[in-house]
Copies of this chain bind each other. A is one copy, B any other.
Amino acid sequence: MTSPHDQILSGIVPPLCTPLTPDGQVDTTSLVRLTEHLLAGGVDGLFVLGSTGEVAFLTDEQRGVVIETVVDAVGGRVPVVAGVIDTTTPRVLPHLEQAAALGATAAVATAPFYTRTHPAEIARHFRLLAAATPLPIVAYDIPVSVGTKLDAELVARLASDGVIRALKDSSGDDAGLRRVILSTAASDVADFAILTGSELTVDAALSFGADGAVPGLGNVDPAGYVRLFAAAREDDWDTARAEQERLFAMFGLVTAGDPVRMGPASSALGAFKAALHLLGVIDSPRTSEPYVPLDADETRTVASFLETAGLL
């Protein structure tokens, strides 16, 4: 087993939603409240500017506001890692500089996208990023957004070379996740941290060696995921499974939006924000443009999921 104290991340690290004001600006008051909500839930770290944080919808300036607000609110209590999501190396570099300047603990980067890439180009991308910053780099595997899957051997090699210090795996491919876990273990990269972004199989991932999870639903119910993680750490798999199944059922809220009117991202992000609004954590459920907002009926559906889960 790896020693957690050497890892830059472990445990439950929710990818924060980015609360917006009704006119689309970052709502820093709500963002601070969300931060406190998560810390009160017992989370082990915070991931700002991920896909759930609508990073792809925020301007560079807004991204800065998010990092600054959360780093300031956290005050060093837990690590704050920041997404530096952009199409290619030269466009990621300024985000990396901003994240370092504003005090993020680590930076989370994907493979290049929009352009088609080759494994050699992906490797070069991460090596150039690592060379350009003092921040540890977290590789973010999210094929649904990026169009390519990070190869397990490539991840193991970059880990072994110290280029990346952690992986957030949102690929949904648990056999692949396990391949990375076994490969990095075999390479004796003891402090490489592996977190799953698959929020519906966190107990399973922990059971085969993941170090933690980055669950979007953790915005809504951080304490639930924290209980799940604690049970797993104590080898109490029945409790972990029961908690995961409760969260699995609650996750149904992401389908609240009518698929004829909107896509799955509008629905899921809208539902997370509606839930946080219903719970009094954020002031407005507004999502970014061009997402389609949930209507009153759809919001009631979200509420009913929260009630069933015992949160409302």
Interface of A with B (CB < 8 Å)?
A: 24, 51, 56-60, 62, 85, 87-91, 93-94, 112-118, 120-122, 124-125, 128, 144-147, 172-175, 178-179, 182, 198, 200-201, 203-205, 207-208, 235, 237, 241, 244-245, 248-249, 261-266, 288-292
Contact = CB atoms under 8 A, between A and B. Distances in A.
Contact of A208 (B62, B179, B201): B201
A6 to B, nearest CB: 22
B57 A91 contact: yes
28 contacts: A24-B90, A51-B114, A56-B112, A56-B115, A57-B87, A57-B88, A57-B90, A58-B90, A62-B90, A88-B290, A112-B290, A116-B263, A116-B264, A118-B264, A118-B292, A120-B261, A121-B262, A121-B266, A121-B292, A124-B289, A128-B289, A172-B174, A172-B175, A174-B198, A178-B200, A178-B248, A203-B208, A204-B204
Nearest to A126: B290
Contact of A172 (B93, B113, B173): B173
A113 B146 CA distance: 9
B89 A204 contact: no
A69 to B, nearest CB: 18
Nearest to A240: B207
A90 B59 contact: yes
* Interface class of chain A by DSSP: helix
Given A51-B115, A90-B289, 19 more contacts: A56-B88, A56-B112, A59-B93, A59-B94, A89-B288, A89-B290, A112-B290, A114-B145, A114-B146, A115-B145, A121-B263, A121-B266, A121-B290, A124-B290, A201-B204, A201-B208, A204-B204, A204-B205, A204-B207
Nearest to A263: B118
A125 B291 CA distance: 9
A144 B289 CA distance: 23
- 3 closest pairs, A vs B, by CB? A118-B263, A204-B204, A124-B290
A308 to B, nearest CB: 12
A136 to B, nearest CB: 19
Nearest to A175: B200
Nearest to A245: B182
Given A120-B262, A182-B245, A266-B121, A204 B114 contact: no
B124 A292 contact: yes
Given A117-B263, A118-B266, A182-B245, A88 B201 contact: no
Contact of A115 (B241, B248, B265): B265
Interface centre among A114, A120, A201, A263 (most CB of B within 10 A): A114
Contacts of A57: 87-91, 115
Contact of A147 (B125, B147, B249): B147
A57 B113 CA distance: 10
